[in-house]
Structure formats: C-alpha cells, structure tokens
Amino acid sequence: MKAQPNPKPDPWKFALDALDAEKRAVLVMVVDHSGSVPGVTGTFVVVTDDGQAGTIGGGAAEHKMVDVARSHGGGIDLVEFVHTENGDGTLCNGVQVFTVVPLSRRDGKVIERIITTLQDHETGTMRLGSAGLEFDRGFAQAQTFERHEETWTFTCPIGLLDTLTIIGGGHVALALSRVMATLPFRIVVLDNRTGLQTMDDNPFAHRKETVSYDEIRDHIPEGDQSWVVVMTYGHKHDRQVVEILLGLDIRYLGLLGSASKVKRLFADMQAQGADPEALARVRAPIGMPIRSHTPEEIAISVAAEIIGISNGAMA
C-alpha cells in the first residue's frame, strides 16, 4: 500500500506543543501588505529552532523571516520586506510588514483558547501589539492595522467566518466538501433523504442534516458570509429550493446543472411568476468553464468560482 503523506501540522497546535516542551517558539505574521506579494495580511508561521508550521507565502521573504525569528533576541518587532522583481529572486512587486513575536507560557493560555474556538467552529478576534498576543472569543472584528509613531496594533478575525451550505448530499457534494474543507469555510450539507451513503461517507462537513426542503429557508443563514450551492437529485427539488431561496439576502446562490437544464428551468419559473431580476442573480450553471465532468472536476470548478467571487476577481 502506498504511504499517505503526513498532513501539515496546525501552526497553533505546533506552537502550543513547542511551549509545552519548553522550546523557544516565535510567531511571525503578516500584519499589512500592498502590491503583489506571496503572503497576504493575516498569514503566519510559527518558528522553532528545529521546525516551522504555517506559511507567510514562501520564497525569499519567508526564508528571511524564518532566519530572523530563529536569531531574534527578544521583544516584539515590526519588519518591512520590500519585494522587487530583480532584488529578491521573485516576480513579486510589493511590500509586506511582519510582526515577530516571541511566545511565552502566558501566550500558551491564549493559544489554547484559539485552538478550542477553531475546534468548536466558532469565531473570535486576535490582537497583536506591544502587549503581545490577545484573543477574545465571540464577535469577530474586522481586520485592521494601525501604526503610530511608537506604537501599533493589529486586529484579525479568527475562525470560519463564511458558511457554505450545500443542498443535496450526493457525490458532487462529497467532492465539493473535500475541496472546500481546505479553505476557511464552515461546511453544512443538507438533504431530504435518509440513509444516504454519500452523506455517511462525508467526514469533511462540519454539519450534516436530513431536512425537509419545504423548510429549507430555516436552515440558511443570511448575510454577506453565506454561500449556498443547490445540487439536489432532481429538477423538481432544484426548482423548489431555488424558488424558496430567491429572495434571501445571501452572498451567493448557485445551481448545478447543464446550460440547457438551467435555461428550461428558469423559463418555466419565470412563466410561473418568478422575478427575472432575482433569477438573474442565481449563478447557474455553477462552476468555471473547464469542461468538468466527474464529481471531482465539478467540485474544483465550483470552488474556483467561489474563490474568485470571494476575492473580488469575479462579479
């Protein structure tokens, strides 16, 4: 049997284990960036004398900052790294601002709260500054970096802020759950069938539930961080769910299906009185046009579309 690759260590758990073993551990986090850089604001790496976990984008900047962390004499510093196409061996052209934070046993208690919050699929707010590392569980504040003459503060939300609700728990839902589990989304899979094998075989979703599609609206959170994909096992259920969710205030509503199916379905719905403007806001057929056929290919195309919209690369 082919050996499976070891999963990448969770950087917060890596940090806590290092502190428990009385190892020296340093947190390096991007607190601000501009231009084209490999690691954006909020990315971080934890560095010990004999290892590291996480990433700040790789390349020359990460190599330098890992060296800085290992040779750091103490105190909390800000380090600016300017990328140029010819200056550091990369094609990046921008600026990253890093904080270098030596971790202590006091920080271990804070890290424990962060780990518990992530395990519970909850959210909170992390703060960095001259006072060190702080964390408040609950409300997630927006990401900000404020810099004054002698002081600075960085605030960053922690946890799965966005929810992807997949309606229909079949093979594509299983593949999409697998892909989206690598991204910062809370994954919910809903289906109206009991005893569905692909639901039972899905370890990637944070919640799986059998529901009546008549009551599907009760299971969908509203707001700009709610993403919904409809992929039920029949046109009848697709139409039922889409009709119920048309007026919901959510970031994304997508429908799986061929172009001909979508055209026919939407024409029937419009003939029965559905709002054309509301229908036009439904992403259908979902997914990037990569001629996907298998559940895995479809999942990648859908994930790419969601990433593109989330990052502002697509309307």
pLDDT digits (tens, 9 = 90+) for 7-54: 678 999 999 999 999 999 999 999 999 998 888 999 999 999 999 999
> Looking at the domain that runs over 162-310, which CATH code has it been given?
3.40.50.720
pLDDT digits (tens, 9 = 90+) for 237-285: 999 999 999 989 999 999 999 999 999 999 999 999 999 999 999 999 9
pLDDT at 5: 47
**Domain extent listing, the chain:** 11-159, 162-310
Judge residue 199's burial from the number of C-beta atoms within 10 Å of its C-beta, 0-12 exposed, 13-18 middle, 19 or more buried: buried
- Give the Cα separation of 278 and 84 in Å (integer): 46
Would you say 189 and 202 are in contact if contact means Cβ atoms under 8 Å apart?
yes
- Give the Cα separation of 125 and 271 in Å (integer): 48
pLDDT digits (tens, 9 = 90+) for 74-89: 889 899 999 876 554 5
pLDDT digits (tens, 9 = 90+) for 84-114: 765 545 557 889 999 999 999 999 999 999 9
